[in-house]
Structure 1
Amino acid sequence: MKAFGPFLFFFILCYQVIFAQQHPSTLQGTITNDKNEPLEGVTVAVNNRLTTKSNDQGKFALSFPPGTYQLTFRFVGYNTEQVSVEIFQDVSKELTIALSPTNETLQSVEVIGRKESSYKNTNSFSGTKTATPIKEIPQSISYVTKETLDDQLAFKTSDAIKNVSGVNQYSYNNNDFVLRGFRASNTLVNGLRISTRGWAQNLLPYVERIEVIKGPASALFANTDPGGTINTVTKKPLDETRRSINFTTGSYNTYRTTLDFTGPLTENKNLLYRLNLAYQNAESFRMLQDGTAMVIAPSFSFIPNERTRINFDLVYQYNKGRLDRGQPIFGASQGTDLYSTPTSFAIGRKNDYQKELNLFSTISLQHQFTDNISFNASYLKSYYDEDLLEHRTSNNYGVDKEGNQIPTLMGMQTIRRLRKNYIDNLTTYFNFNFNTGPLAHKLLVGYDYIQEVFPKGNSTYNANGFLSRDGKSTISTYKPADSAKYMIVNNMPVPNVPYFNLANPDYSISEISNYLNVSREETPTKYYVNGIYLQEQLKWGKWQALLGFRQEFYTDILNYTKENEEKVEQKAFIPRVGLVYTPLEPVSFYATYTEGYQPQSAGTIGDPETYGGPFDPLISNMIEAGAKMEFFHKNLAINTAFYRIEQNNILVNANAEGNPDLLRQIGQQQAKGIELDIYGNVHPNFSVTANFSYNVAKITKSDDAEEVGTIMPNAPKSQGNLWMKYAFTGQTLEGFALALGANYATRRNTDTDILKLPAYWVANAALFYRIDKFKLSVNMNNLLNKVYWVGGFDYVRLFPGAPRNYMLSLGYTF
């Protein structure tokens, strides 16, 4: 808890700044619909900067110095209104605003873009596959909105995920996170499965928000992770014209441009578009980690009538750089000195490269048969392509003839790899809304199909091991008792790929054809899932219940593409039960029980030479309870959760010398913890997003008795984040805003028992200035230049955080 002290200091400081300012003039108003009924939750924006919302009586209030202000009123299902008002010294003013409805209702799938413009998000589609207020979902759902991403100048997933409670990085790799103590392996886009084979992290310029569904979500999304599922929601078209261009530069020779254009293509607004473009060229504090990234993401929404909506999304993401396997340090014989090499230190060669293409497209349809019956269908096609050359560690240190470790020489291998894979994901479901006496029903009946193919033709060209005595062949590992079989020079067995000297690194070009290489076709795999599910949301007065189940049929094809091809079929019944009680409108209490089922992937069980096995499926369950609250006219959300998650048949790294990918299965892991998330506005000028978690994730059953009670790798017992932004008003500071923040994590284990990562806390800040349509921001990260590690595997693969760095951004909205 000591690490949380800086958060409290920053919070108190900003709180005092807020109320030190005087706001002598008040603007009050009432917002109604065309029937003169009050509208609750209407967003009121002042000069497109300060925001508040109307209360349950349609009323709002704002205070600011004298001047002329442009007020914008936005509410889903109603046309946006703009009003210019002039405020005089010590004079209160009242407005009455009537919003006219559009032909749009709250969609049951996310077709039209979110119009909220704060750190708070009200509804979620992923929690129940229906448009449901988050406070009515009996499960914890954390999120990061695009407004938070923009203010923090976040560009990739790891930049954003620190804003989510209970989530920690495992490595630099794509979607390699720990959620409530469990390592993640799956990710969703708009609730649909995409490929996770890539290394480079997903980029964010096309992202509306990132949601994390805490705990098992298999009842809705098939084989998902027990700690939670990360769902990326892409930006959708808006029915009003908005255009923005942003230029960013900063530390490590970073150059970045993003564009976001949206609006109607037709006068009657039945065809909408959105186009997000981004390009970045940047180096890194890590050696040789320069690269480029590009995003092209068009989206179209077609609304031919009030009952039918069709949406198309395409995201093209290209990364070119090098694969960063992490920071190596001197071997165990030198102790566990994390500082034996600088955090910028990496292994590789100048001619290494990594080229990755991620491409996915989504087509979704919503049709309203009647006021109470609707049909939804979405299809996603995901494609991943990799072209890789790397000099990487073989996960061990050099040895002399007697087998003694040489802690400054790193064993090496080279990999030349070409591969691709495809995922198809179809989801269809009907919604039935009806009443039976006092009970209100929202019944969902659906079918899913998921297929992943790792096709024939993927191949690697690999060099490793030690040279035989005659130098014409290789031996995978060195055995001192058989030293006569090896080529020995200077009392050392000669490796096929020369050692990397940690004390005197060489990053020059190295031609891999000089080594003894083995070309190997990677094992082609295929699996597919058929799932049917039913979900009932019952509402009776202040009580709501969620009852659901999924019947899943999982088929894995062994020996795929071969004559002896064989189907291995598994099935599982996955229940989900939840209860919500709302004693007062702003407060709800909930409890839930849900189960998870996750067969081992075809790539893992289909390649026992690399990963080991065969392995049993992962079975999990979760009990969770909590409270969800809204304050300050629903502008601020505070969510708490208490949980226990249990998973059986976990896979962990075997730490096998010479085979860094080998896995082993242990008995049971259990996580217990509490979480707190805060989002939104304390005051129209003061925005905040904060989170805190305490989680104990440990092994509770294992064939190795010494492992029982061990905390799982990269799962801190406590972690948190705070980001606060205050927008100044008044003639002197009008247009300026200040943000302060910090994030921390306590000590963590790695995959190696004797190597621990130290606790850390990092301070961040930003200064903004907005004038007319321009926004200038300066972001400083790691203000105190702390040395820290976000995650790590072992001595040869640690993942340090960036030193002090800055970003300067200029945006123009028109």
Structure 2
Amino acid sequence: MRKTRNPSRTGKTQAKGSSAIGALPLCLGLISAATLPTAQAESPSATSESRNYNIAAQPLYSALSALAEQSGVQFVYNSELVRGIQSLGVSGQYSLEGALKHLLSGSGISYRFNDGNTVTLQKTTTLEPQSATTMPAVTVLGLAPGNTSDPYDKSYTVGNSTTATKTDTPIMETPASIQVITRTVMQDQQAYRLQDALKNVSGVQSYHPFGGDFENYVMRGFLQTMANYRNGIRIPFTKFDLANVERVEVLKGASAMLYGFSDPGGMISTTIKQPSATPYYSLEQRFGSYDFYRTEASATGPLSKEHGLNYRMDFSYLDAGSFRDNMGNDRIFFAPSLSWDVTPDTKLSLSYEHLEDNNAYDFGIPAIGNRLAQVPISRTYGGSPGMKNNTHNNLIDFRLDHRFSDRVKLNAGAVSSQYDKYWRSIYLSRVDETPGSTFGNVRRNAWFGPEKSESLTAWVNGTFEFETFGIKHKTLVGGEYYNNRMNYQVTDIRIGTINIFDPNVPTITAAQIGQFENAPYAYNIATEYTSKAFYLQDQLTLWNKLHVTGGFRYNWIDRYQYLSWNDDPYKQATRTDDLASPRVGIVYQPVDWLSLFGSFSESFGPAADYADGGNTLYQPFTATQFEGGLKTQFYDGKFTASMAYFDLERTQFFQDPTSDNIFKSVPVKGKSKGVEVDMQGQIYAGLSMIGSYAYTDATITSDVTTPANVGNRLPFAPVHQGNLWLKYDFSEGWLNGFSLGGGVYTAGRRYGDAANSYYDHAYARLDLMAAYRRKLGDTTLTTRVNINNVNDADYFAMRSRRSNLPAEPMTVMGSIKLEY
């Protein structure tokens, strides 16, 4: 996205203190202080006084940059909108609106003046006349769905997405369920983790594998692998810091046709903020309960206006304690990026990300009988103050975009990511549940050692738009190469028995840590996964109402595994597979505000799961999905809603309940069907909402290891799940600038394993928010306070009988943010 005077920034920081209530008065005081009378500078507007403009004829994008510099406004638009368009310029005395009209004359582009000194540009929509003698053509200049790249935009909706098709396609014309969490939603809720954003999406539950060191989710009843997507590129073994994230897109269901090896429940992709030609800067400090501190800063603007060279820098620092004993997380993240408009039709982009994360391994709380153990949620069973896993993630992303013409476009790129971790972790074996003196006893184990992963993705896409016999085509032809190598060596040492009900849990000493770090490795594992793929997709439009999407992908996959368990002889396994993945979908849009859709799609996996003690790699298991539903949009696209029915079947892997090896897995086949409803946007002037409901009927249909599990519910996913968040922005009177919001998040009973041997009860959680925003000259000051889990709901992220993570109790988060 290009702007002529703004990128965006979300920020995160939180209130100090180990008590949520203790932080509340401070946060409210910050909001009150911000309301003190302050001189405000008047922003330019459409009706500003006439002034002299002198902008020569030139490419429209550079003419808009000149107008922004001379007028002081900020233009927000997609770079594709102006690519290849010449402007006649403007010279003489004009109002701002008059000058803008001259620059846009004949371009087919309309404009909208917003709050925050910004002007949004968009393609003019023309309604065809009903006949030659009745109604003339009408140009519609109404409000469009939000532009998420505008830092001052308050919208909860977007109109287009690329995740479902790899082309810029209106969501109303996409034959798939896709939800987009905008930056505005994340700001209002002070999200800084993926899980904070995804709580707004139907049918998604957090999983927190391996002590919370990875981000894993359950979607449509099925557990994802440890990989999410960045700008549509698979990034394994990583956490995403939201400091440079523009929005989060969730594509439901199987998606192998475009992305190859993927999870059938859906995929999660972050869209990253891009450099802007318009200077924009922000600084935010957050502070919160349990000694939570987070700082965010961002800067963007031109390095050379003459040569179209722009930069961006995003930064965050996190230092957080926890309500859990000996737990905590500190993190440094920075992400510089450059973009170069080589010509009006060619753009080069280069970005880098570095994340250093130190996180205490939290194995959670085990189950006893059919419930979670009745122990304080603050209690942990391993570790010591300062004992943390250390992770370094580095990523380099290069991209080329070129437009040969309005109908032929090319984009290509390469993404390299490196993951380097050192584990310092304590985990539990199975708890003794035999009545008697040993009831509650459990052995602790130390898991120490290095783990590394390297991934490379190279891709090229060509998009061709043409017509045949009145049928419009948007054809995508592409290819992708993906390689991932992972290896780790760890020691696995038994360190004695404790009782989970004894509050005096022995601390791991410095001498023990030194012993674990120098012990010989028990496990040595190396894996490699290589995929080469070709894909073809055609999006057809008939009569401007019927949209048909069809395509296929052909994959050549090579897998290799080399491992040793506890001094066993090394075991090697290799496997080569060829797989074809089809997809077809249809959308019928009888009126602008309603779409009916249906689709069939497939996915395949796993990547490196093995059988026979490591001697054999499992064959890739396929998943199939049928989906149908409807989508609606109202108020010029400012409010959207969707409802989908899905029927999904796949094989996935769960931890072997008969083994102490936490990495040993067994295959279980399941079937999931249900209904999902999602709504978001503005429902009244100043009143925005985002809400969802999911009914998920997910059951086990085959389990060769434990046939008695057939008919049980798939673990982790509730039958019923829902949420509703409302926010009101005051714009008049003495409350002008204030915002109030709140939301309820609820889920039914969730089982923790395939045997349905234990469960967590249903819960409902209440979150509240208050904010105040004020202009201070050219600077915008925002203060905000969020109280999460106001009612102190007690619930868990389910993982296994031995490991379940309690949710955070009531917490308070406050923030102060400056933008200019």
Residue in structure 1 matched with residue 104 of structure 2 by the alignment:
34
8 A Cα contact 2:155 2:681, kept in partner: yes
SS in 1 for 2:196: helix
Alignment equivalent of 1:575, drawn from 572, 582, 592: 582
Distance (whole Å) between structure 2 residues aligned to residue 568 and residue 405 of structure 1: 49
Residue in structure 2 matched with residue 650 of structure 1 by the alignment:
652
Assess, with a 3 A threshold, how the Cα gap between structure 1 residues 613 and 747 changes in structure 2: closer, same or farther.
farther
Distance (whole Å) between structure 1 residues aligned to residue 215 and residue 371 of structure 2: 28
Residue in structure 2 matched with residue 687 of structure 1 by the alignment:
688
Alignment equivalent of 1:799, drawn from 783, 799, 805: 805
**Quick check: 1:461 aligned with 2:491?**
yes
1:249-273 deviations in Å (ceiling 9; x for gaps): 1101111110121222222471122
Residue in structure 2 matched with residue 768 of structure 1 by the alignment:
771
Identity of aligned residues (%): 26
1:56-115 deviations in Å (ceiling 9; x for gaps): xxxxxxxxxxxxxx6x3212589xxxxxxxxxxxxxxxxx9999xxxxxxx9xx9x8899
- The one-letter amino acid of 1:340's match is Q
Distance (whole Å) between structure 2 residues aligned to residue 427 and residue 342 of structure 1: 50
SS in 1 for 2:708: helix
- The one-letter amino acid of 1:443's match is T
TM-score by length of 1: 0.79
Residue in structure 2 matched with residue 536 of structure 1 by the alignment:
538
Residue in structure 2 matched with residue 546 of structure 1 by the alignment:
549
Distance (whole Å) between structure 2 residues aligned to residue 406 and residue 320 of structure 1: 35
1:632-654 deviations in Å (ceiling 9; x for gaps): 1211111111111111x332222
Distance (whole Å) between structure 2 residues aligned to residue 113 and residue 381 of structure 1: 29
Deviation at 1:44, TM superposition (A): 4.3
Assess, with a 3 A threshold, how the Cα gap between structure 1 residues 558 and 765 changes in structure 2: closer, same or farther.
closer
**Quick check: 1:724 aligned with 2:764?**
no
Residue in structure 1 matched with residue 229 of structure 2 by the alignment:
188
SS in 2 for 1:120: coil
SS in 2 for 1:406: coil
Distance (whole Å) between structure 2 residues aligned to residue 117 and residue 260 of structure 1: 19
- The one-letter amino acid of 2:114's match is A
Deviation at 1:532, TM superposition (A): 0.4
Deviation at 1:560, TM superposition (A): 9.1
Distance (whole Å) between structure 2 residues aligned to residue 627 and residue 655 of structure 1: 41
1:223-280 deviations in Å (ceiling 9; x for gaps): 0001001111111122322211111111011111101212222224711222110001
8 A Cα contact 2:575 2:617, kept in partner: no
Q: CA RMSD in A?
A: 3.0
SS in 2 for 1:646: strand
Residue in structure 1 matched with residue 414 of structure 2 by the alignment:
379
TM-score by length of 2: 0.79
1:455-499 deviations in Å (ceiling 9; x for gaps): 4xx3212212xxxxxxxxxxxxxxxxxxxxxxxxxxxxxxx5343
8 A Cα contact 1:612 1:662, kept in partner: no
8 A Cα contact 1:460 1:522, kept in partner: yes
Alignment equivalent of 1:781, drawn from 758, 776, 788: 788
Deviation at 1:807, TM superposition (A): 0.6
Distance (whole Å) between structure 2 residues aligned to residue 506 and residue 432 of structure 1: 64
> More displaced, 340-349 or 765-774?
340-349
Residue in structure 2 matched with residue 60 of structure 1 by the alignment:
none
Alignment equivalent of 2:710, drawn from 683, 708, 711: 708
Residue in structure 2 matched with residue 451 of structure 1 by the alignment:
483
SS in 2 for 1:555: strand
Aligned pairs for 1:105-116 (under 5 A) are: none
**Quick check: 1:811 aligned with 2:814?**
no
SS in 2 for 1:732: helix
Residue in structure 1 matched with residue 43 of structure 2 by the alignment:
none
Alignment equivalent of 1:753, drawn from 735, 744, 756: 756
Aligned pairs for 1:124-523 (under 5 A) are: 124-171=161-208, 172-185=212-225, 186-196=227-237, 201-268=239-306, 270-328=308-366, 331-332=368-369, 336-338=370-372, 340-350=374-384, 352-397=387-432, 406-455=438-487, 458-464=488-494, 496-499=495-498, 501-510=500-509, 511-512=511-512, 518-520=520-522, 522-523=524-525
Distance (whole Å) between structure 2 residues aligned to residue 626 and residue 573 of structure 1: 26
8 A Cα contact 2:607 2:620, kept in partner: no
1:124-148 deviations in Å (ceiling 9; x for gaps): 1111111111111111111211111
Assess, with a 3 A threshold, how the Cα gap between structure 1 residues 802 and 559 changes in structure 2: closer, same or farther.
closer
Greater RCO (Cα-Cα under 8 Å, separation 6 or more): 2
8 A Cα contact 2:153 2:184, kept in partner: no
8 A Cα contact 2:526 2:561, kept in partner: no
8 A Cα contact 1:410 1:502, kept in partner: no
8 A Cα contact 1:525 1:559, kept in partner: yes
Assess, with a 3 A threshold, how the Cα gap between structure 1 residues 116 and 580 changes in structure 2: closer, same or farther.
farther
Unaligned runs of 5+ in 2: 1-45, 48-96, 125-138
Residue in structure 2 matched with residue 61 of structure 1 by the alignment:
none
Deviation at 1:356, TM superposition (A): 0.8
Distance (whole Å) between structure 1 residues aligned to residue 573 and residue 760 of structure 2: 44
- The one-letter amino acid of 1:318's match is E
1:286-325 deviations in Å (ceiling 9; x for gaps): 1111221111011211111111111112111111131111
SS in 1 for 2:242: coil
Distance (whole Å) between structure 1 residues aligned to residue 166 and residue 140 of structure 2: 34
- The one-letter amino acid of 1:406's match is T
- The one-letter amino acid of 1:460's match is V
Assess, with a 3 A threshold, how the Cα gap between structure 1 residues 204 and 284 changes in structure 2: closer, same or farther.
same
Residue in structure 2 matched with residue 73 of structure 1 by the alignment:
119
Distance (whole Å) between structure 1 residues aligned to residue 690 and residue 315 of structure 2: 27
8 A Cα contact 2:159 2:637, kept in partner: no
Distance (whole Å) between structure 2 residues aligned to residue 657 and residue 559 of structure 1: 20
Assess, with a 3 A threshold, how the Cα gap between structure 1 residues 683 and 324 changes in structure 2: closer, same or farther.
same
Distance (whole Å) between structure 1 residues aligned to residue 470 and residue 153 of structure 2: 33
Aligned residues: 687
Alignment equivalent of 1:625, drawn from 628, 634, 640: 628
Distance (whole Å) between structure 2 residues aligned to residue 155 and residue 179 of structure 1: 21
8 A Cα contact 1:396 1:658, kept in partner: no
Distance (whole Å) between structure 1 residues aligned to residue 335 and residue 381 of structure 2: 34
1:573-597 deviations in Å (ceiling 9; x for gaps): 1100011111112221111111111
Aligned pairs for 1:61-100 (under 5 A) are: 72-76=118-122
Distance (whole Å) between structure 2 residues aligned to residue 98 and residue 687 of structure 1: 22
- The one-letter amino acid of 2:156's match is Y
SS in 1 for 2:530: strand
SS in 1 for 2:430: strand
SS in 2 for 1:205: helix
Distance (whole Å) between structure 2 residues aligned to residue 248 and residue 432 of structure 1: 46
Distance (whole Å) between structure 2 residues aligned to residue 701 and residue 509 of structure 1: 42
Residue in structure 2 matched with residue 12 of structure 1 by the alignment:
none
